[in-house]
């Protein structure tokens, strides 16, 4: 009629969940940081290149 609860399994599952969540959070932060660096580099090259364009009429 009643079920058995496995406390070590519950604790282990909770620990795995916490580690996975923190890993996903860190990957998300790192990805956002690297994306902002890439965008900065692209805008820097575009803006610095504008001054070197010589239009021919």
Query: Is 32 part of a structural domain of the chain?
Result: yes
Q: Does residue 4 form part of some domain?
A: no
Confirm whether pTM is higher than 0.85.
Answer: no
pLDDT score for 54: 83
CA distance 38 to 17: 31
Q: pLDDT 10s digit of each residue in the chain, 57 long?
A: 567 888 899 999 999 999 999 999 999 999 999 999 999 999 999 999 988 888 887
**Residue range of the domain that includes 46:** 13-51
Tell me how far apart the alpha carbons of residues 9 and 2 are, in angstroms, rounded to a whole number: 18
pLDDT score of 1: 59
Residue 18 lies in a domain: yes
Radius of gyration (C-alpha) of the chain in whole angstroms: 26
Number of domains comprising the chain: 1
In a domain, 7, yes or no: no
**5 in any annotated domain:** no
Q: What is the largest CA-CA distance in the chain?
A: 90
In a domain, 2, yes or no: no
- For residue 12, the model assigns a pLDDT of 95
């Amino acid at each position: 009629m009643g079920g058995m609860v496995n406390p070590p399994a519950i604790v282990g599952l909770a620990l795995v969940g916490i580690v996975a969540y923190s890993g996903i959070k860190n990957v998300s932060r790192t990805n956002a940081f690297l994306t902002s660096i890439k965008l900065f580099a692209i805008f820097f090259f575009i803006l610095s290149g504008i001054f070197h364009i010589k239009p021919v009429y």
